[in-house]
Homo-oligomer: A and B are copies of this chain.
Amino acid sequence: MQFVNRIILKIGYLQRIRIWSFSILPKSENLKSNTHTMASKPSIPKGTRDFSPAEVAKRQYIIQIIKSNFEKFGFQPIETPSFENSETLMGKYGEEGDRLIFKILNSGDYLAKANAAHLESKESTKLTSSISEKALRYDLTVPFARYVVQHQNEIEFPFKRYQIQPVWRADRPQKGRFREFFQCDADVVGSKSLWQEVELVQLYDAVFTDLGLSGVTIKINNRKILSGIAEVIGASDKLIDFTVALDKLDKIGEGGVKKEMMEKGIAAEAIAKVQPLFNFTGTIVEKIEKLSVLLSESEEGLKGVEELRFICDNVMKLGLNNAVLDLDVTLARGLNYYTGAIFEVAPPKSVSMGSIGGGGRYDDLTGIFGLKNMSGVGISFGLDRIYLVVEELNLFPETVSATSQALFINYGETEAFYGLQAIQKLRAAGIKVELYPDAVKVAKQFQHADKRRIPFAVIVGPDEMTSNTFLLKNLISGEQLSLNFESLKEALLGS
């Protein structure tokens, strides 16, 4: 049969569907390449993952809950390409971000267009733009902004879009940090209405309620509050040191925090001005009152207080199912990005884990692509971390699995055909069911069902064929029932 290897086929467009374009290398080359790959056990790039059927099923369970809530809240899905033109991404995430973006090498003779000077001087960073025109997306926000600007004439604003797609980052992989991971974003663009913020808090609550997660805390802050604090302490350039220190209040106490602040060069006078932040407890209403006093000299700060008041007030009047809303003035996230509300979601306190969601308001989402005055607000769900939390709290329903409900045992050609007639009708009724493909030893087939965690086996031997019945065996209890087809169907539908 070797001769066939040398036959050259027309490789047509057809082949795009399922393709293993035949190799046109001489046979010796083929062998060499085979030997090469056989030598090392195959692996995947660091920071990436294979997902087994059980993992895919669990991930899909979470994604489905997020997706259905996005849609209940009026968000519509879009998808953007995995890679964008480099100029769309570069310069949008800072120098560090630029470094972490995966660049795609130009196809063909890419060196022909390479910048000769940079090639000569071996300056990798400078050379990149002349040998790479495309890059893998780094997040979903910049591609969304690009989408809005590019399609602005087809979009009906306000535009509520959601997007659930992978992103890639050349970060150093570590526990829980991957080079390929999914983002799940919902954003509204084209309206400054604070009702959006109210609804986004409800959306978080709805998703975590559906996941059975109690005790999630939705932290809220406002960039204008942070601006106001910076104004009040008269030390804008110290705001970050200030919030970092304040965040340690629980751990090192008021004295420790003040000491750290002074070490960072914040004047004692400035610290005194924001004394109420050191005792920033109480209900949200009380906290907002404290802020309105504290920031009474800052127009910007008071604007932030009003926004917070509207959002928190309405969220509380409408009520949350499971989540708790909390005002956290140390919450900053991507500070120069957000301009209004800032959100972050903390998992239940019983789980030791960072934030499982975040978001906020950005007044000028699309400005970077030339479309001004487009206010946006959005939130994101951290799929990988939510997965870990749901797993740790044992909240995945037992039914989350893509496995079949029953395995038909294969006793030989005649019995298999009889079984397939039933299988065909069961599948038409929506039941997941399969035939063991080979008529091997029955023990081996039962073992297969067991390892696959298939709950039922259906046995069809000569007796069953004669009596037109099926022996349904519950593989957990061991119970066996002889059933006609209709009863078999009912039993599997009800299982």
Contacts and interface: CB of A to CB of B under 8 A. Distances in A.
B45 A85 contact: yes
Given A102-B107, A237-B6, A239-B4, A180 B21 contact: no
Contact of A45 (B84, B103, B170): B84
Nearest to A33: B91
A109 B125 CA distance: 7
A3 B105 contact: no
A169 B424 CA distance: 37
Given A3-B230, A7-B236, A7-B335, A53 B161 contact: yes
Quick one: copies of this chain in the complex? 2
Nearest to A171: B16
Interface in A87-108: 87-88, 90-97, 99-100, 102-105, 107-108
Contact of A3 (B78, B80, B82, B237): B237
B77 A60 contact: yes
A150 interface: yes
B337 A22 contact: yes
A332 B123 CA distance: 49
B21 A74 contact: no
Given A17-B356, A74-B404, A82-B136, 12 more contacts: A7-B236, A16-B169, A18-B183, A20-B362, A21-B334, A23-B91, A23-B336, A24-B94, A30-B91, A83-B102, A206-B427, A206-B428
Contacts of A193: 437-438
A173 to B, nearest CB: 12
A52 interface: yes
Contacts of A110: 124
Interface string A1-18: 101111111111111111
A132 interface: yes
14 contacts: A3-B236, A4-B239, A7-B335, A9-B334, A18-B357, A18-B358, A33-B91, A43-B85, A72-B430, A72-B431, A72-B432, A83-B180, A103-B105, A160-B434
A114 to B, nearest CB: 8
A111 B122 contact: yes
Interface in A63-80: 68-69, 71-74, 76-80
A185 interface: yes
A448 interface: yes
A139 interface: yes
A255 interface: no
A344 interface: yes
A139 to B, nearest CB: 6
A427 B69 CA distance: 8
